[in-house]
């Protein structure tokens, strides 16, 4: 029986993967780095510690990972304060599921970004817990962030449903032992092998109803 629902953030509630892509590509090019076409896909699901190290070691930025992460977050927050890219139906879906289950958030975004989104969107009151992959040992596709969300919700991972969009996210939720609901990202769709791990695949948030979750 499902006792809680855990959402991913980027690509599930926010149409934001391309925003992260634009911000990190722009910074890489400004700082004389070596951006390549697979960089965004490589970084999807990584914690801030992991992707900022990737930008230094693989993309060739000279700054420290902490400096890189702080600058990306600063630029992202600036964009979100101007216009938050909340996906159509996100608010209604969260409200609909929160009426039945406690909700958690398991995100690869930095803590500052999660808190800003919860504040600006007004969705924070619906989430009992939010977890950043900064706060666990490993980012997605490792299960750590989902396991921590279940721990804070005080439920077993097996009694949770996870809502994900990306390859690394789907693998993370599955490895945690959760019921996995996939809503594939239109801009960066998951690979077929990862998508096959999902228990349910939906076309949009509008299809995410209590009966689908249960």
pLDDT exceeds cutoff 80 at 104: yes
Reply yes or no on domain 17-82 having CATH 2.60.120: no
**Domain 4-15+85-213 in this protein, CATH class:** alpha beta
Left (φ > 0), alpha (ψ -120 to 50) or beta: where does 45 sit? left
Q: Quick one: pLDDT at residue 47?
A: 86
Q: Quick one: pLDDT at residue 120?
A: 96
Average pLDDT, the chain: 96
Cβ neighbours for 108, distance < 8 A, ≥ 6 positions apart: 9, 10, 44, 45, 46, 47, 48, 132, 133, 139, 140, 145, 169
| pLDDT tens digits, one per residue of 131-170 | 999 999 999 999 999 999 999 999 999 999 999 999 999 9
pLDDT exceeds cutoff 90 at 15: yes
Asked if the domains 4-15+85-213 and 17-82 are classified in one and the same CATH topology, the answer is no
pLDDT exceeds cutoff 90 at 173: yes
Domain boundaries, the chain: 4-15+85-213, 17-82
pLDDT band for position 188 (50/70/90)?
A: confident
Q: Could you give the C-alpha distances from 181 to 8, 75, 212, in angstroms and in order?
A: 11, 31, 9
């Amino acid at each position: 029986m499902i006792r809680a629902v855990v959402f991913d953030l980027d690509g599930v509630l926010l149409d934001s993967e391309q925003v992260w892509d634009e911000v990190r590509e722009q910074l890489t090019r400004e700082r004389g780095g070596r951006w390549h076409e697979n960089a965004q896909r490589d970084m999807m699901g990584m914690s801030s510690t992991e992707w900022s190290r990737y930008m230094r070691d693989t993309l060739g930025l000279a700054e420290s990972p902490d400096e890189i992460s702080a600058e990306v977050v600063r630029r992202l927050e600036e964009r979100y304060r101007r216009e938050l890219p909340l996906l159509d139906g996100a608010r209604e879906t969260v409200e609909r599921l929160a009426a039945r289950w406690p909700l958690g958030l398991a995100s690869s975004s930095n803590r500052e970004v999660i808190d800003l989104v919860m504040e600006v969107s007004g969705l924070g009151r619906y989430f009992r817990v939010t977890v950043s992959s900064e706060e666990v040992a490993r980012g997605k596709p490792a299960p750590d962030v989902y396991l921590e969300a279940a721990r804070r919700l005080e439920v077993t991972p097996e009694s949770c449903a996870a809502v994900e969009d990306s390859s690394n996210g789907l693998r993370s939720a599955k490895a945690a032992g959760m019921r996995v609901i996939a809503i594939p990202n239109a801009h960066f769709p998951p690979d077929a092998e990862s998508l096959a791990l999902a228990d349910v695949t939906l076309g949009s948030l509008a299809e995410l109803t209590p009966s689908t979750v249960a």
